[in-house]
Amino acid sequence: MFRVKTGCSSIRATLSDFRTILSGNVGIMAISWFLFGISGSLTGPFFMLYAKSLGAQDFSIAVMRSIGMLAFAFSTIIGGILTDYIGRVKTIIIGTSIVTLTSFGYAFVKDWIQLSILWIIEQIAHFYAPALMAIIMDSLQQNTVFKGFLVLNTFSAIPGLFMPVIGGIMYDTYGLTGIRYAFVTSGIISTIVLILRIRFLRETLIVKNNGNNKFKSIILDVIKYRNVLKIVLAVYVYTSVIGPIVSAVSSTYGSIYVVEILKISKTELGLLSSIGTATSIILGVLIASSRSINNKLAITIASLSLTLSMALFTLPGYLNKFILELLVLSTIFGSLHGVLIGPLLSTIMTRILPVEIRGRLIGIQRMFESLGASLSAVYAGLLYVYFGPINSLLISTVTSIIVLPYLIFLYKFSGQSISQ
């Protein structure tokens, strides 16, 4: 699938490519995502378990996640408009400031209701997601787009090698107190990220003053790019409908299934997360160092690895043996899917979206994705409650078979070459 460079000169060339990619805004984003990766890896794998420890029931968790995603969906529309009209940097700083406050707040909630309220506020605060993507798209050179997203994903994933294990140990050893300390640490890290972004991010968009026609142009500027919208909508169908449906149960109840049904400790859950991260980093470096990529084969492998990962995740529930081994294999194949699919879709979007409307169309994409995640969380809750944990995962595995034909269709439809 990939032709990898070999030899000392090729290694030097690869390192030079990485330095070029990680310059300016992209470098600042890489550092800030690395720091957020530390805080996210420390608390993220245990968030739903934290909610349950605070009194949430299984279906309540699904409802909480659904409402949060719904709030994020509508906030990204505003965020997309702000991204194109007040600029990328201002939008990012406002959102990061609110996220920093909620990070501290998680440490002091008394019950799952308060946790849910903060979760919803944080999801609204992530209205700046379109600005993050837009500033990266603006800052990457056209011939480094696919590698750029690979390097960014790989760099930001490094904390996942060790932080989930630390978080799991804290949770296993100190219970709720341990995870509360983890959230305080997350708040401190978020503060550092905020300062970094205020100090070093540079605006990439020249903000135009459209006067009284500004509101009208919000719609008209997008409509005139009809040929682009067809491809964008095809991407939306995957990211907002197919993807969320397939991953609904595992993303909502994965940690609960592993700990409560398969009887894996929280430390082992953290270890699985670290294994996934290590796999992602290794694969990301190898792919980013390659000379060429067979796009159709990459899409095929990404799709098949998703189905295989989900099947391996479900199988221990039926066998009740080889649990950890099967979960490790599931994690590895899931990482392979993640490494390939994100940069493939991001590259298509980068190459087809004009700079002046990127914020709005990314905002619309994030809105649809979150609406899909919101509805899929309820769908996951119904499956999990009425069919049981193991059967609901089996249904998701069977559903994942639709991914391959749709991604091949999307690749052909877009007509975009993502070879470097």
The tens place of each residue's pLDDT in the chain, 420 residues long, gives 555 555 555 556 566 666 777 788 999 999 999 999 888 888 887 888 889 889 888 888 888 888 888 888 889 889 988 988 888 999 999 999 999 999 999 999 999 999 999 999 999 999 999 999 899 988 888 777 777 888 888 888 888 777 878 888 888 888 888 889 999 999 999 999 999 999 999 998 876 655 445 555 655 566 666 677 778 888 888 888 898 899 889 888 888 889 889 988 888 887 888 888 889 888 888 887 776 666 678 888 999 999 999 999 999 999 888 889 999 999 999 999 988 888 888 877 887 777 777 788 888 887 888 788 778 888 888 898 889 989 999 999 999 999 989 988 887 776 643 344
Q: Is 269 exposed, middle or buried (0-12, 13-18, 19+ CB in 10 A)?
A: buried
Q: How many CA atoms does the CB half-sphere of 101 hold within 13 Å? A: 12
How much is the pTM? 0.72
DSSP conformation class of 401: G
User: If 0-12 CB within 10 Å is exposed, 13-18 middle and 19+ buried, where does residue 344 land?
Assistant: buried
Q: Quote the pLDDT of residue 418.
A: 39
- Domains of the chain plus CATH, in order, are 19-202+224-414 (1.20.1250.20)
Length, in residues, of the chain = 420
Label residues 2-26 b or e (16+ Cβ within 10 Å = b): eeeeeeeeeeeebeebbeebbeebb
